[in-house]
Amino acid sequence: MAHDAFMSTQKPGSRFTQGVHHVGLTVDSLDAAVSFFTETLGFERVGGRPEYPSVFVSDGAVMLTLWQAQAPSVAFDRKHCVGLHHVALRVADHDALAAVHDRLRACEGVSVEFAPEALGQGPAQHMMCMVPGGVRVEFFSPGA
């Protein structure tokens, strides 16, 4: 979710859509990705389709569909690849962002790209990391 400076001021009734229902992410290890989202971030496993294979997880605000990749993965390069660059998850405040950062630094398989920092001129802050399963995740705090 973009920070408030980029949010639309258009009247809700004039849009065809009403937000994001879910985001589908192809991962290089379904088990590692499910474990990360459920055990590290506290998401709930809400479904899945073994024949794909896929697992659906949710934090109560957004649902992620995690799909197992069938072929070896290639590292994403935003300048040369088409597709999802990252998923941004909102946290309550800067204290929650700091707590997420501390937890992720200690989490096996997570590579923190950058620690919490101001987004633009603030007061919003964000951090970025690569999580198990090969997904790039941003954590966003709106600030004051």
Using alpha carbons only, give the angle 42, 134, 88 rounded to the nearest 5 degrees: 55
In a domain, 10, yes or no: no
Q: Which residues contact 104 (CB under 8 A, 6 or more apart)?
A: 40, 110, 112, 129, 131
In a domain, 137, yes or no: yes
In a domain, 9, yes or no: no
In a domain, 16, yes or no: no
Mean pLDDT over 82-105 rounds to: 93
Q: Which of 67-71, 95-99, 126-130, 138-142 has the lowest mean pLDDT?
A: 67-71
43 within 8 A of 35, measured Cβ to Cβ: no
Instruction: Name the token pair of 55.
Output: 């697992």
In a domain, 44, yes or no: yes
Residue 131 is predicted with a pLDDT of 96
pLDDT (tens digit, 9 = 90+) per residue, 25-53?
999 999 999 999 999 999 999 999 999 89
In a domain, 2, yes or no: no
In a domain, 6, yes or no: no
pLDDT confidence bin for 18, thresholds 50/70/90: confident
Residue 10 reports pLDDT greater than 80: no
Domain range for 61: 21-70+85-141
In a domain, 127, yes or no: yes
> Distance from first CA to last CA of the chain, Å, rounded?
17
Q: What is the tally of structural domains in the chain?
A: 1
Here the CATH number for the domain that contains residue 110 is: 3.10.180.10
